[in-house]
Amino acid sequence: MTVRPIRIIGDAVLRTECDPVKTFDAELRALIDDLEDTVREPGRAGVAAPQIGVSARVFSYNVDDVVGHMVNPVLSAFDGEQDDDEGCLSIPGLYFPTKRAMTVTASGFDRHGEPLVIHGTGFLARALQHETDHLNGTLYIDTLTGDVRRQALREVRRLPRG
């Protein structure tokens, strides 16, 4: 079991679009194992590869005691809206109301290169969107607007840099 350290805002890997996975090999399976071990830590709903320093389009999730992963995700079928507080392991201790679709479909692959489709609603939909954003070099605070965005940016500047 390998729980990897989480990269903190200020680390360039968090702002870089990840490379698509092209080879489904033992190295990828080891990365997925590490992501799933890392997301099993208490209080974690998702971990994307860049959060552990790897530029690959892979994430893990842990929602309602279901741990899974997705490789090369593409999101579609966005529907409805939710506006709840959201946080991020890479921006520790800060939570802000963040608009997300209420339902979403994620299509991609499993660790063996087999097609995988996840239909998410509520918190799972939020996690799928949040983790896919990480793979694009986007943090949830980038999606905020207005006064909430200004407050978030002020508070982020006060965080110690990792």
Q: What is the pLDDT of residue 125?
A: 98
CB of 143 within 8 A of CB of 98?
Answer: yes
Between the CA atoms of 120, 80, 85 and 32, what dihedral angle is there, to the nearest 10 degrees? 20
Name the catalytic one among 17, 27, 36, 131.
Answer: 131
Side chain identity at 120, as an amino acid letter?
Answer: G
Task: For the chain, 162 residues long, give each residue's pLDDT as a single digit of tens.
Answer: 799 999 999 999 999 999 999 999 999 999 999 999 999 999 999 999 999 999 999 999 999 999 999 999 999 999 999 999 999 999 999 999 999 999 999 999 999 999 999 999 999 999 999 999 999 999 999 999 999 999 999 999 887 765
SS in 3 state form for 85-111? EEEECCEEEEEEEEEECCEEEEEEECC
What's the pLDDT at 161? 64
Q: What is the structure's pLDDT at 158? A: 87
Instruction: Tell me whether residue 134 is annotated as binding.
Output: yes
Contacts of 101 (CB under 8 A, 6+ apart): 78, 79, 80, 81, 82, 125, 129
41 part of the active site? no
18 among annotated binding-site residues: no
So what's the pLDDT on residue 162? Answer: 53
* pLDDT reported for residue 160: 74
Q: CA triplet 125, 133, 104: central angle to 5 degrees?
A: 25
Rounded to two decimals, the pTM is: 0.95
Fold of the domain spanning 12-158:
Peptide Deformylase (3.90.45)
CA-wise closest residue to 109 among 100, 121, 99, 117: 117
Residue 88 assigned as binding residue: yes
Residue ranges of domains in the chain:
12-158
The pLDDT score that the predictor gives to residue 55 is 97
